[in-house]
């Protein structure tokens, strides 16, 4: 990827900051990786409560690593004046991923779990050696909203496969809420 440092900010969002100014200009730096041939499949959960909700997907084939995220509105995107409390904090999220082996006993076994303050999205990697074609995954999600009036989140699987994510009633809900 060739770019001109004088014009690339408007074309690609790339810009340069002298290293001595990094701490002055940024509170946090996140480095993203671009994976060739990967797509996002997702389920949009709207007006949710503080209970665990479960989502499912089946791997149609074995094709590379997968990355599972659950994400809500970015921290501080909802002004404090719009929250249910003037002392609102970022929501807390608990994510537990289970897997049932294809053609096996179909018993779900825990693969990964995370609990964190949702100030940034933390992917759960599922490596290529950890699954087979036909495996079924269950993702338990629980948010503690901490005063947020918008109780929506997205369950996402970033992979090379076309994956259908459903709720416990086998419904899909793939909205395009990001423009």
Look at residue 70 in the predicted model and tell me its pLDDT.
Answer: 93
Give the pLDDT of residue 14.
62
Helical (H) or strand (E) element with 39: strand 39-45
User: What was the pLDDT predicted at 96?
Assistant: 96
Q: In the chain, what are the domain boundaries?
A: 37-167
* CA atoms 87, 88, 94, 95: torsion sign: negative
Q: How much of the chain exceeds pLDDT 70, in percent?
A: 75
Question: In this predicted model, what pLDDT tens digit does every residue of 90-124 receive, in sequence order?
Answer: 888 999 999 998 776 678 999 999 998 887 778 99
For the entire predicted model, the pTM comes to: 0.79
Chosen CATH of 37-167 out of 3.10.350.10, 2.30.330.10, 2.60.120.510, 3.90.1150.110? 2.60.120.510
Q: What pLDDT sits at residue 76?
A: 65
């Amino acid at each position: 990827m060739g770019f001109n440092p004088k014009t690339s900010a408007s074309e690609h969002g790339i810009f340069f900051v002298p290293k001595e100014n990094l701490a002055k200009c940024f509170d946090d730096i996140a480095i993203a990786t671009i994976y060739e041939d990967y797509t996002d499949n997702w389920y949009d959960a709207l007006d949710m409560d503080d209970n665990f909700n479960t989502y499912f997907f089946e791997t149609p084939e074995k094709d590379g690593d997968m990355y599972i995220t659950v994400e809500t509105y970015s921290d501080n995107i909802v002004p404090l004046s719009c929250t249910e409390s003037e002392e609102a904090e970022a929501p807390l999220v608990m994510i537990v991923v289970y897997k049932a082996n294809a053609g096996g006993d179909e018993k779900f076994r825990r693969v990964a779990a995370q609990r964190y303050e949702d100030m940034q999205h933390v992917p759960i990697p599922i490596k290529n050696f950890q699954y087979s074609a036909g495996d079924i995954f269950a993702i338990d999600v629980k948010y503690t909203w901490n005063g947020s009036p918008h109780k929506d989140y997205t369950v996402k699987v970033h992979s090379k496969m076309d994956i259908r994510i459903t709720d416990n009633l086998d419904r899909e809900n793939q909205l395009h809420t990001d423009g």
